[in-house]
Amino acid sequence: MAISTNGFLYFSTVNTNFSKISIFDNTRIFGTLAPNNCLAPYFDDLKLGAVGTNPAGEVLYKIFNATATNEDTLVIQYTNISSSFSALSGMPKQLNFQVWLYKNSGQIEFRYGPASGTTFDAGNESASIGIENGTGGMYNFIDGIAGSTHLGSAMLTSNNFPNYNIKFTPGTPLPIPAGTYTVGAGGAYKSLTTAIADLNHRGVSGNVIFNLTDTLYSETVEGGKNIFPLILEDVKGTSSTNKVTFQSVLNLSKIVSVGTTSTNALVAGPNLYNMINGNNEPILALFGTDYITFKNCVLQFQLVMCVLTEAFG
């Protein structure tokens, strides 16, 4: 196993080499170029050493027996890693995250701690989160934020660092059963981001309704720490009889994004085609999506607002 200070690790049957370890092009997790067999809890051009007033961080590991599951577990921990190699465009945040590898179940878990600091490097940050098998490319990776196997997001910055853990479990995911699910504080899904990721990854087996129970869905803690853009793909199982509806149970729910503010951000499609970047970033992106409805929602990007009493995809 090779562990990179750029927020990824990969498995190899041969000796690893420096050129692979030093890679900072995080779109590689969505393509066929090395490194493959890759786990990326936060893949970007990070910095282990000191940056500006940030002291050097650490990468640590530990093997222990997880009491809850009674299985040997390997944990790799990134402690106070600077979110960028430069302080010229703003002092990078200090990031804390872990990879948990469970021996018996084969589960992989990304755990996220604090991202400390008040500014960030808007000119260089554009991270990705996900896993990739030994082949790489379409349908051989899972984007950890979007839940997609053929759309990869490289639009993360430390300003929207995840505040929830992501677990990957071996096997074929079961579709979401027909029913109504709440999205918001105390709901089945805490954010629109996690609801959409589950929908993209699993698909549906009947009519599914997501009830938005909060007044605000944004990047803020009060807004559920959503990660934008919200990306919906061609959801498996949807049809004229199996529809998906996102609807506010209030008069209106606001979905508000301030944008990544990163000049390097992009969403990669098939063959790494640049489908979204920092110049055309949407709040909500629908790729090949049918039978999706949004009702009683306000989409607001910075100061521009659009009211959706009923919109279809």
Judgement on whether residues 194 and 261 belong to the same structural domain of the protein? yes
Judgement on whether residues 207 and 130 belong to the same structural domain of the protein? no
Q: How many domains is the chain built from? A: 2
Judgement on whether residues 305 and 265 belong to the same structural domain of the protein? yes
Write down the number of H helices and E strands in the chain: 2, 24
> If residue 210 lies in a helix (H) or strand (E), which one and from where to where?
strand 208-212
Per-residue pLDDT, averaged over 88-107, amounts to: 92
Condensed to tens digits (0 to 9), the pLDDT of residues 73-84 reads 999 999 999 999
Judgement on whether residues 14 and 115 belong to the same structural domain of the protein? yes
Longest dimension (CA), the chain: 59
pLDDT of residue 242: 97
Last residue of a domain, one of 153, 171, 189: 171
Judgement on whether residues 144 and 201 belong to the same structural domain of the protein? no
Across the chain, mean pLDDT equals 88
Judgement on whether residues 180 and 159 belong to the same structural domain of the protein? no
Per-residue pLDDT, averaged over 223-234, amounts to: 92
pLDDT of residue 270: 62
Judgement on whether residues 228 and 276 belong to the same structural domain of the protein? yes
DSSP 229-266: SEEE---TT--SSS-EEEEESSS-EEEEE-----SS-E
Judgement on whether residues 28 and 155 belong to the same structural domain of the protein? yes
Which of 177, 182, 164, 173 has its CA nearest to residue 201? 173
Q: Are 40 and 136 contacting, i.e. CB atoms less than 8 angstroms apart?
A: no
pTM of the model: 0.90
Distance between CA 306 and CA 211 in Å, rounded? 20
Last residue of a domain, one of 112, 147, 171: 171
Amino acid at residue number 22: S
Per-residue pLDDT, averaged over 128-135, amounts to: 95
Condensed to tens digits (0 to 9), the pLDDT of residues 254-289 reads 999 987 666 566 676 665 566 777 677 889 988 888
